[in-house]
A and B are shown apart, each in its own frame.
Chain A
Amino acid sequence: MTSAHVDHPMLAPEAAPPALQPVTPRRARPAAVARRLVPYAYLSPTALLIAVLMVVPIVMVISYSFRDNVIVQENPVFVGFANYTRVLTDPEFLTALKNTFVFITVSTVAHLVLGLAFAMMLNTPLLSGVTKAIFRIVYILPWLFTIAVIAVIWRLLLDPAGVVNYVLGTLGLIHDGVNWFGDPGKALWVLTFVNIWSGYPFFMISLLAALQGIPADLYEAAAVDGANPVQRFLSVTLPQLRPVIVSMAVLDLIWTSQQFALIWMTTGGGPLNATEMLSTYTYKQAFSEYEFATASASAVIVLLLTMILAFFYVRQQRER
């Protein structure tokens, strides 16, 4: 099947010239036209994939968001911006928006700080190679687990009768079992913590690579100028890392805003909507309420918000 699909574009240029002939009689040399079309034919599999996998679904979702009762009824009617009004005035959506903002900003900042701290530790000449190798493995572990495993591990650890409460209780830090995920006041912070835990190694690895790429001459020059370690960090390390840090931060903001599996498998958006995010809100609209139109409107809003971030990412990449 696949080969048959790929074959079509190769046939297209040969089939095209006769159709073009009567329209452009003066430069109607079939060979020349065919030659000009060849590059596009080579591009067409990719163009087709992009069209089928990205353009078509996005356009469909956008068109759904302007109609009522899509998917569940055969002839949905055009309702303009009604779905958007409904979503934007829904208190649950506003809660989800606020929670998502807290979740992604705190996660990204913490990822960055932890990632940088651990990367600098793994890059320091003060530790031996073996020690660094051991720590490198330990630090990267969270990244090796899939989200499902991470969710199960932390649900067990943070159970009111789980290991964390037991350890804290034994140390005398708490008296009663703390309800980590079940307490509306704590759930969002606990969830953010788990997300930080699962995501910092990617920052660490990328920053470590960037650190290793900073020329040693710069540090030598700074040392000659009498700069202390803090000054060297602020004036050499940070400026050198800046491009990497900015792109990682923007990417992380985008990725974290799309986090769904971890939230769904730990709190499901509860308790009392304390961890409701844009992703879980959209999912519930679609697969629990079967309101695919409002779900599409919500998804389009998320797309627009993400595009703002993507715009900064692309601009920053271009500057480099």
Chain B
Amino acid sequence: MAVRAARLKRLGAVTAAVAVALAAGACGSGDSGDASSDGTVTLEFAQWWAPELPEGSFDKLIADFTAQNPNIKVKLLSAPYASTKQQLVTGAASRTLPDVVGLDGAWVNDFAKQGAIADLTPLMREANYDASQLASQVQVNGKTYMIPVVNFVYPLFVNQDLLSKAGVSAVPSTRSEFLDAAKKISATGGNVKGWALPLDTAVPNGVQNDVMSWLWASGGSMLADGKPNLTSAPVKSTIEFIKSLNDAGVIVPGSLTMKEQDKVEKFTTGQVGMVIDSLAHINLIKKNNPDLKFTVAALPAEDGYTGQRGMPYASWGIGIANSSKHKAEAFKLVQFLLSQQTNAQLSTLANGFPGNKTAVPDFSQSDPLFKTAFDIYSQGYPANEFVGLPKSEDLMRSFAEQLQLVLTGKQSVDDALARSQEAWSSQM
């Protein structure tokens, strides 16, 4: 036994020695973003934008930046949205975020609370940056942590062929017109339905884009003084409206596990007459079904509502890591991407709307529907109350579950809203 123990001890010693050597080696090689001897600074920039843009176009923009700032080099860390998110969640935890990070409004609160991303307000002050040109800023406790660079709005997509087949002459503009049109479209038979409601809980953004959007379109709010206010009359009327669509049988079946891509797919194949969808999908829809005749419109509002209509949006936001040693240089990159000229270029490439109010995207080469959407956007306002909320995905999920209970007849609207209010209050 003693011999065995001694052997084990020796084995342990050897393993430990090797592990220490390896760990020391790993520590030595993990450093990045440092200034080199000639004073050149290398910034790391993690985002999911480059893979979504025409190939090579984002690198070209960044090359323009490095040409203007010869002492700054930019290393792009490009990955799809979901991988970027997971990378940043772990990077935020281990304080190893890249210097500049692409952000979604939904992540900001959590990252800011962890102290992983920097307050941009002092950086703007130091750089004498005029923040009034920004279309919006995402703040937590009055401090700006993210600036939206490009915004993607979610208008109402309408299949004009189905609408005219159903005998509806105009695109619905109020909730009752929408219900009526949806009923008539569903009555045309086959598998065709009036509206699609993706409520899958794996990626529960349907609550933001397809449910709460109705509330914002009528100028309503799900918050009061930053606290949840789900039992208010406007929220109740929104959920009752969605229930009325469900009761009328105009929603595509299977909505409890439907995902966003299913919604786009069904609209593209003409199985659903109207959906609320990202403008970014126009090109995809046209590519997959060039013959589909459709238009975009502002979301229908409550009958009699005359105010400005909110339109849900998602952003490519930008922020700076708190752990970055080169915040001033990083802010130069932020400034560059939000400058009038670059921001207009980037918005044009991305088919989105600029984060700089003075930038005007060039629609001459793009689909005329983008121009229509830009006009609707200019008349209303971008609305997304989930931006900046803590654990926003989880808030959406718990709301989706309560709404599912309503749609399956297991719960009343009042109970669902009261339960959601309770769940949200405890989280926020």
Chain A residues within 8 Å of B, Cβ to Cβ:
1, 4-5, 8-9, 12-13, 15-16, 36-37, 40-41, 43-44, 47-48, 51-52, 71-74, 155, 159-161, 177, 179, 181-184, 187, 264-273, 284, 287-290, 292
Task: Using A5-B25, A270-B200, A287-B89 as known contacts, say yes or no to A177 and B256 having CB atoms under 8 A apart.
Answer: no
Name B115's closest neighbour in chain A (CB-CB).
Answer: A74
- Complex Cα–Cα for A282 and B310 (A): 36
B253-A290 in contact (CB<8A):
no
Complex contact B391–A288 (CB within 8 A): yes
User: Contacts A272-B405, A273-B401, A288-B397 known; A44 to B14 CB distance under 8 Å?
Assistant: yes
9-residue interface stretch from B15-23, B150-158, B231-239, B279-287: B15-23
Contact A284 B257, CB 8 Å, known A16-B17, A270-B404: no
Q: In the complex, are the beta carbons of A287 and B14 less than 8 A apart?
A: no
User: Are A284 and B397 touching (Cβ within 8 A)?
Assistant: yes
Contacts of B15 in A (CB 8 A): 40, 44, 47-48, 51
The answer to whether B401 and A272 have CB atoms under 8 Å apart is yes
> A165 CB to closest chain B CB, in angstroms?
9
Task: Decide: A72 and B257 in contact? CB cutoff 8 A.
Answer: no
Contact between B22 and A5, CB atoms less than 8 A apart = yes
Do A187 and B257 touch across chains, with their CB atoms under 8 A apart? yes
In angstroms, Cα B265 to Cα A161, docked, is: 12
Q: Which residue of chain B has its CB nearest to the CB of A264?
A: B202
* Complex Cα spacing A179 to B253, Å: 7
Task: With A44-B15, A51-B15, A288-B397 as known contacts, state yes or no: A184 contacts B93, CB within 8 Å.
Answer: no
B277 within 8 A of A: no
Instruction: Check B258 against A40 for contact (C-beta < 8 Å).
Output: no
The answer to whether B254 touches A267 (Cβ under 8 A) is no
Which residues of the partner chain B approach A272 to less than 8 Å between Cβ atoms? Answer: 256, 401, 404-405, 408, 410
Q: List the B side residues contacting A292 at CB < 8 Å.
A: 93
B333 to chain A, nearest CB (A): 27
Which of A51, A183, A267, A272 has the most B CB atoms < 10 Å from its CB? A272
Contacts of A15 in B (CB 8 A): 17
Cα distance A159–B271 in the bound complex, in angstroms: 12
B258 touches A182 (CB 8 A): yes
Complex contacts, B401 vs chain A, CB 8 Å: 270, 272-273
Binding site for A on B (CB under 8 A): 10-11, 13-15, 17-19, 21-22, 25, 29, 86, 89, 93, 110, 113-115, 191, 199-203, 252-258, 262, 271, 391, 393-394, 397, 401, 404-405, 408, 410
Please indicate the chain A residues that have their CB under 8 angstroms from the CB of B110 in the complex: 72, 290
Of the residues B22, B191, B397, contact of A48 by C-beta under 8 Å: B22
Cα–Cα, bound, A191→B106 (Å): 31
> Which of B22, B115, B394 is close to A8, meaning CB atoms less than 8 Å apart?
B22
Using Cβ atoms and an 8 Å threshold, which residues of chain B touch A51? 15, 19
Contact A268 B203 (CB under 8 A): yes
B253 touches A48 (CB 8 A): no
Residues of A within 8 A of B201 (CB): 268-271
Chain A residues closer than 8 Å to B408, beta-carbon distance: 184, 271-272
CA distance A183 to B404 in the complex (A): 11
A265 to B25 CA separation, bound complex (whole angstroms) = 40
Q: Is the CB of A289 within 8 A of B391?
A: yes
State whether B257 touches A267 (Cβ < 8 A): yes
With CB as the reference atom, state the residue of chain B lying closest to A71.
B93
Within the assembled complex, what's the spacing in Å between the Cα atoms of A82 and B19?
33
CA of A182 to CA of B408, assembled, Å = 10
In the complex, the answer to whether B256 meets A182 with C-beta atoms within 8 Å is yes
14 contacts between A and B (CB under 8 A): A12-B21, A36-B10, A44-B14, A48-B15, A160-B254, A161-B253, A182-B253, A184-B408, A269-B201, A270-B257, A272-B410, A288-B393, A289-B394, A290-B391
Shortest C-beta distance, B192 to chain A (Å), equals: 9
Q: Which residue of A lies closest to B392 (CB)?
A: A288
The complex places the Cα of A40 from the Cα of B15 at a distance, in Å, of 8
Contact present for A269 and B202 (CB under 8 Å): yes
In the complex, which residues of chain B have a beta carbon less than 8 angstroms from the beta carbon of A183?
Answer: 256
